[in-house]
Structures are given as structure tokens and as C-alpha cells.
Amino acid sequence: MEFMLDTADTKAIKDLDTLLSIDGVTTNPTIITKSGKDPEQAIADIISILRPEQKMFVHVVSTDYDGIMAEARKISALRPENMYVKIPVTRAGLMAIKQCAKEGIHTLATAIYSAAEGYLAAANGADYLAPYVNRICNYTNGVAEVVRLLNMLSANNMKARVIAASFKNANQVNELIENGIQAVTVAPDVVTQMYNHPATELAVEEFTENWDKAYGRKTLFG
């Protein structure tokens, strides 16, 4: 499974890339605004810290077909490889995804709220599909809808990979990993929930304390 970070915070990306195995970074317009930087600079800063094999996903802002295509071609040219254009699955977006596939532009179909939207984007040639798990929960069970999409793709031998997004807690991520999700994109605060169980630190403190009491030091070798 691929593990992406859903953020434009370069400090958090560097920190988590040292700590964990990170396969790429996803952004969206709201995430870019939170960086407080000029948008082109924010994107360039992320690209500058990624290794070539790590994937980068940039979301278009235009909502009409011509605007989406113009942005998609520019985004795609920002890096020689592993550059993906995020396109929402609106009518204009679905048309653009189809055209991008013809032009060899890699896409991630985003703002997916139903398995049907994901299936149609996959049929149009999207490389990745991003269902918004937590936001789907406003309408139905988000995890179940993503599992339905996974089943639809596998039943039809479709090659698009599902990158589950919009997580608000670690348990939502866990449930999809259990169900064989191909990729997830997770915001740094939810990533922290995944590895930072308070009992882990307490267990280490207990071992150190017992060792110190017995041997008068806090290291294995004296």
C-alpha cells in the first residue's frame, strides 16, 4: 500500500519522511492556502524536497473544461516524472480526465463521494481515485462506500488505484488498510494518531526505570 501525506507543510513533510515510509504528497486548494505562501512557490517548495520516486499530486482550480486542461498540462510539466493532476469528478472534470488519458497526463480523480463516481472516472482513464471517506460519512458509511468502489474495480479488472482521502481519525485509515486499500493520503495530525499511542511511551519508561534500578544506568552496555 502507498502512504501519502495530505499537506503542503514542508516542515511536516520532511519530519514524517524521516520517521516513516512516505510515497508522496497530495494537496488541494484549501491545503495550499493554509501554507500562507504564493501558490506556485508552495508547490515548488514541496517538489524540491521530494525524492524523484515520490509522487506529487496538485489539484486544478479552474472548473471549466478548457481551464482544467490548461492547468493540467502546466501541472504535468512541473516535474519529469511522478507528477499527477488532481481533477474533481464534475462533468467538466470527467471530460478532462478522459482527455488527459489521451495526452498521457497522469490524473487523480478527486472529490469522489460515491462508488459510481469513482468507477466512471476509472473508466475514463484516471490513474488514481480519491474518495473522501470522512466527508462521505455525512451521507452514508464512508468506509463501506470505498470498499464498494474497490470491489467494483476488482470485479471489472480495472487498473485505477484507490487512494482513500479525507480522514479525520486513525481508525478510518485502519479500517481501509484492513480492507486492502491500495493507497491512503493522510494529514499529519491523523498520521500522529497512528503512531503516537501514549501507552508505548509508558512501556518504554517502565523498562528504563526497572533497568536503572537494577544496574544504575539507562543504557544496555556500561
Nearer to ligand E4P, 26 or 35 (CB): 26
> What are the helix (H) ranges across 129-197?
133-136, 142-155, 170-178, 188-195
Nearer to ligand E4P, 39 or 211 (CB): 39
Build a one-symbol-per-residue string for 43-72: x at contacts with ligand E4P by CB under 6 A, - elsewhere.
------------------------------
**Cβ contacts of residue 222 below 8 Å, gap of 6+?**
215
Q: Which stretch binds ligand E4P (CB under 6 A): 33-41, 68-76, 126-134, 204-212?
A: 126-134
Our finding on whether 96 is near ligand E4P (CB under 6 A) is no
Nearer to ligand E4P, 82 or 211 (CB): 82
Our finding on whether 173 is near ligand E4P (CB under 6 A) is no
Q: Are 211 and 188 in contact (CB under 8 A)?
A: no
Our finding on whether 127 is near ligand E4P (CB under 6 A) is no
Q: How far apart, in whole angstroms, are the C-alpha atoms of residue 183 and residue 128? A: 9
Our finding on whether 165 is near ligand E4P (CB under 6 A) is yes
Q: How big, in percent rounded to 5, are the helix, strand and coil portions of the chain?
A: 50, 20, 30
Residue 95 sits at the vertex; the CA angle it makes with 26 and 151, to the nearest 5 degrees, is: 65
